[in-house]
């Protein structure tokens, strides 16, 4: 039993209940209107019967659609996109300033950094209700899962820490001091190197997740935002938002072996600000979100040459593949939409309006 809370004390349970109430009210509004307020009993019966039929039809066929979950940084919500219909099917309230988002291995739970609530919301992927919180330390920004799915590694932007949280016990099991304004998080495919980038220190910190110690600190371009290993683990790519470059790091030698630069005709260099990076499963193609350049760069990983710039929405930050890699999604913070990129055809096929300031995106098969 929880002791009575003093006035003004933070009460996660109450917050969760309030969030649940908001969510259910929102989701069931039309249904309840028909049940209670529809004019005649006959009509009511017909409508309900019809609804039941529709629901049966939709539930009896296997759910093939991938769902994308988009955090809306200023909307304090997540938008759920059905990737067959390519439209938002649900919006759910979450904690304040949601940014980093990741799904558990089974795709049943969503973990969301609610920065202004200093917590990680655990959201049920089906009901979209907040079912719990993970302790995160102050201002969590980005997070990733350990290979076994048991731990969450996250960056605390305000506290210069990388925090490790056990999902089952909901306890902090490790804290590693890193540089100023830590953000990007990555894990090598073998799980042996955890990477954090610190935005004001301008470093990629290579961490041994077992020993919870820093192995190496590698200087990269100004304001590093995101880190991503190639699928074979031979390269670590780090984006520098203000530096305007991608540093390709040899994770064994702990050194930057190459820097990728960008040039878009008609755009000043300062407007090209690389952030999110995704690399195809075959390791051949990398996609880099270029922020206010409103483009996603396509890079041949062998030659490190940009082969194409795809025009997307405004201020593009994060990217996510669908599991079949048919689509790549980009969150466009200023135009409040998500661009859908056809990966094979390398073209943008749709923009989907979402909430206010879309930030992060995660996809699950549901």
Partner 1 sequence: MLFGRYVCACIAAIALYGARPFGFSYAQPAQTLAMSIAVGVLRTAHSKETISILEIPPDNDLLAGAELGLEDNKTTGKFINQEFTLKDRKLAEGEDAAEAVRNFASDGIHLIIADLPAAQLLAAADAGKATNTLLFNASAPDDRLREEDCRANVFHTAPTRSMLADGLAEYLIWKQWRRWFLVFGSHSEDALFADAIRRSAKKFGAKIVAERLYQDTGGGRRSDSGSVQTQRQMPVLTQNVPAYDVLVAADENDVFAGYLPYRTWDPRPVAGSGGLKPVSWDATHEQWGAAQLQNRFYRLFKRSMNARDNQAWMAMRVIGEAATRTHSNDPAKLHEFLVGPDFSFAAFKGQRLTLRSWNLQVRQPILLGDGRSIVSVSPQEGFLHQTSELDTLGYDKPETKCVLR
Footprint of partner 1 on this chain (CB under 8 A)? 157-158, 160, 179-181, 198-203, 205, 214, 217, 219, 222-223, 241-244, 268, 270-271, 273, 292
Strand partners, 351: 339
Nearer to partner 1, 44 or 74 (CB): 74
In the sheet with 224-229, reading across from the earlier edge strand, the strands are 224-229, 236-240, 245-250, 255-261
Residue among 201 and 331 whose Cβ is closer to partner 1: 201
Distance CA 319, CA 359 (A): 9
Question: Residue 346 region, left (φ>0) first, then alpha (ψ -120 to 50), else beta?
Answer: left
- Cβ contact 76:97 at 8 Å: yes
CB of 15 to partner 1, least distance (A): 22
Contact 318, 343 (CB under 8 A): no
At 199, phi and psi to the nearest 5?
Answer: -70, -35
Nearest-10 crossing angle of helices 41-60, 12-37: 120
Are the beta carbons of 275 and 295 closer than 8 angstroms? Answer: no
Q: How far is the CB of 186 from partner 1 (least distance, A)?
A: 18
The least distance separating partner 1 from the CB of residue 183, rounded to whole angstroms, comes to: 9
**Beta carbon nearer to partner 1, 34 or 334:** 334
Q: How far is the CB of 224 from partner 1 (least distance, A)?
A: 10
Q: Which C-beta is closer to partner 1: that of 321 or that of 357?
A: 357
Q: Nearest distance from residue 125's CB to partner 1, in Å?
A: 30
State phi, psi for 38 to the nearest 5 degrees: -65, 145
95 or 244, CB closer to partner 1? 244
Question: How far from chain centre, in Å, is Cα 79?
Answer: 12
Cβ closest to partner 1, residue 109 vs residue 202: 202
Decide: 298 and 309 in contact? Cβ < 8 Å.
Answer: yes
Tokens at 180, concatenated: 């100023």
Nearest distance from C-beta of residue 241 to partner 1, angstroms:
8
Task: State the minimum distance, in angstroms, from the CB of residue 270 to partner 1.
Answer: 4
Query: CB-wise, 52 or 222, nearer to partner 1?
Result: 222
Q: Is the CB of 98 or the CB of 243 nearer to partner 1?
A: 243
Nearer to partner 1 (CB atom), residue 95 or residue 179: 179
Least distance in angstroms from the C-beta of 158 to partner 1: 6
Minimum distance from CB of 152 to partner 1 (Å)? 22
């Amino acid at each position: 039993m929880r002791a009575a809370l003093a006035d003004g004390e933070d009460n996660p349970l109450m917050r969760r209940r309030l969030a649940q109430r908001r969510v259910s009210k929102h989701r069931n509004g039309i249904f309840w209107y028909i049940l209670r307020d529809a004019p005649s009993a006959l009509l009511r019966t017909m409508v309900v019967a019809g609804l039941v039929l529709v629901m049966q039809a939709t539930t009896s066929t296997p759910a093939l659609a991938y769902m994308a979950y988009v955090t809306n940084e200023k909307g304090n919500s997540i938008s759920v996109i059905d990737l067959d219909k390519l439209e938002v099917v649900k919006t759910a309230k979450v904690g304040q300033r949601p940014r980093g988002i990741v799904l558990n291995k089974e795709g049943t739970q969503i973990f969301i950094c609610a920065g202004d609530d200093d917590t990680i919301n655990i959201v049920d992927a089906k009901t979209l209700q907040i079912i719990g919180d993970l302790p995160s330390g102050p201002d969590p920004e980005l997070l990733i899962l350990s290979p076994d799915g048991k731990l969450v590694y996250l960056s605390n932007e305000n506290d210069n820490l990388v925090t490790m949280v056990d999902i089952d016990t909901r306890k902090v099991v490790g804290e590693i001091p890193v540089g100023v304004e830590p953000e990007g998080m990555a894990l090598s495919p073998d799980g042996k190197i955890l990477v954090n980038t610190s935005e004001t220190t301008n470093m990629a910190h290579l961490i041994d997740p077992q020993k919870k110690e820093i192995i190496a600190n590698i200087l990269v371009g100004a304001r590093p935002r995101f880190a991503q290993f190639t699928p074979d683990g031979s390269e670590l790519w780090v984006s520098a938002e203000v530096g305007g470059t991608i540093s390709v790091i040899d994770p064994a030698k702990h050194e930057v072996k190459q820097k990728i630069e960008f040039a878009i005709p008609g755009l000043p260099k300062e407007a090209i600000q690389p952030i999110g990076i995704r690399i195809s499963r075959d390791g051949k193609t990398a996609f880099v979100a270029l922020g206010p350049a409103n483009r996603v760069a396509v890079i041949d990983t062998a030659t490190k040459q940009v082969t194409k710039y795809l025009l997307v929405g405004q201020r593009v930050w994060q990217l996510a593949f669908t599991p079949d890699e048919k689509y790549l999604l980009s969150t466009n913070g200023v135009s409040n939409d998500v661009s859908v990129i056809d990966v094979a055809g390398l073209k943008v096929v749709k923009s989907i309006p979402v909430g206010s300031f879309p930030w992060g995106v995660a996809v699950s098969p549901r």
